Copies of this chain bind each other. A is one copy, B any other.
């Protein structure tokens, strides 16, 4: 019998599946659309995507040892229920048990940004010694996943790292959460799109286009890009000052602008270092990195969590 671990990253538009065998070598990897018309359609779509990945390697549910699944929202980890995932249209939904009964395997459910932190941590550990890491997901929302002292940190209620709702501006825009001037109202994807639209840059449909426009000298695009860089830098600084992590890795849709985005952060840090010894000591450029574009940290983190859960279970039953 073959033994496979399945890692899922269920996003608002795409679901990515990764299948590895017990020595971690990748067997199958593919993406499917995420349907959000109803919880049933959504989950059926996810199940079909998993079957497609299994079919590629002529595998069946019997070959699946465990499944790890990341969702953009909050989970009840103990019960495998989604507490709330607004972008998937799920609330108090038993995703874990639905997938578990379909594939006859245990399912570990976790917030997607937290899984990306775990996947990034494992990835970096192949090349460097690191024990404290933050992964900052900047997409539809903004939050950080944290590995502290080598262990995923969730907080008392699974809410640790909700930095998107830190208030950073006294006279800002009203956030979905009801507060005024949250970090998300400036640096999240929809907030950047809003700022571009307000500046009459409606034609820039992607982050890459906006950052190219700025690099080509468009003053309006430059103003937005600089403001976003200013507040991403402030968020990075907050994360490093509060958690004292060795590295912070950025990912999510907004970071698709790549080096152009990173350069706005490094420029801002260069200015701050001129002012402050503390920034010189605590915020070298080397602490900040982008996730490699071709690496889905979420699915890798999902597999790691599934594997850890199986190992913990085996220890318990011996």
Contact of A279 among B178, B239, B279 (CB under 8 A): B178
Contact of A162 among B158, B166, B177, B241 (CB under 8 A): B241
- Judged by a CB distance under 8 angstroms, whether A275 is at the interface is yes
Number of copies: 2
What number of A residues sit within 8 Å (CB to CB) of B?
Answer: 42
CB contacts under 8 Å to B, within A273-310, are: 275-279, 282
Interface centre among A165, A239, A278, by most B CB within 10 Å? Answer: A278
In the bound assembly, the distance between CA atoms of A170 and B233 in angstroms comes to 13
A166-B237, A166-B238, A238-B238 known; A156-B276 Cβ under 8 A: no
Distance in Å: Cβ of A86 to nearest Cβ of chain B? 13
In the bound assembly, the distance between CA atoms of A260 and B71 in angstroms comes to 44
Structural contact, B165 and A278, CB atoms closer than 8 A = yes
Which B residues are CB-close (under 8 A) to A277? 177-178
Distance in Å: Cβ of A134 to nearest Cβ of chain B? 10
Structural contact, B178 and A278, CB atoms closer than 8 A = yes
Which B residues are CB-close (under 8 A) to A242? 144, 160-163, 166, 238-239, 242-243
- For the complex of A and B, list the 4 residue pairs with the smallest distance between their C-beta atoms, beginning with the closest: A155-B244, A178-B276, A160-B244, A177-B278
Q: What residues of chain A have their CB less than 8 Å away from a CB belonging to chain B?
A: 131-132, 144, 148-149, 153-163, 165-167, 169-170, 177-180, 234, 237-239, 241-246, 272, 275-279, 282
